[in-house]
Amino acid sequence: MKKIRTYPEMNEKLLGILRLSEEPLQLYAAQRIEELEEEVSRTGRWIVRETDCGDYKVAHLICSECGQEAMYDESHIYTPTKHCPGCGVKMENG
């Protein structure tokens, strides 16, 4: 399949055309484009939250957008990812 570059301006034009239709498939495509545009426009940050466990503190990485905790590896070390596993927002410090 040939790779095609996409542009926000073209997405706007396509949305206008797709919204003119009453066909479910075209309305679905328009909705999906809007969802993807919103997803890429949002950014979040990993926030460090500490929990006091008596003699020691545990640090947790939390998504600023949805509160989802970051994934951690088999050593229980948090791995900040480029996107939140909960809401999919792109992380500035991932």
Q: Are residues 25 and 56 in the same domain?
A: no
36 in a structural domain: yes
61 in a structural domain: yes
Domain hosting 15: range is: 8-41
User: Residue 10: how many CA atoms within 13 Å on its side-chain side?
Assistant: 4
Q: Are residues 20 and 49 in the same domain?
A: no
13 in a structural domain: yes
Quick: pLDDT tens for 24-51: 999 999 999 988 887 777 889 999 988 8
Query: What sign does the dihedral 82-85-89-92 (CA atoms) show?
Result: negative
Count of domains observed in the chain: 2
d(CA 39, CA 87): 9
Q: Are residues 60 and 84 in the same domain?
A: yes
Instruction: Write down the pLDDT at residue 89.
Output: 85
2 in a structural domain: no
Quick: pLDDT tens for 44-92: 999 998 888 888 888 889 999 999 988 877 777 787 888 888 888 888 8
Q: Are residues 48 and 85 in the same domain?
A: yes
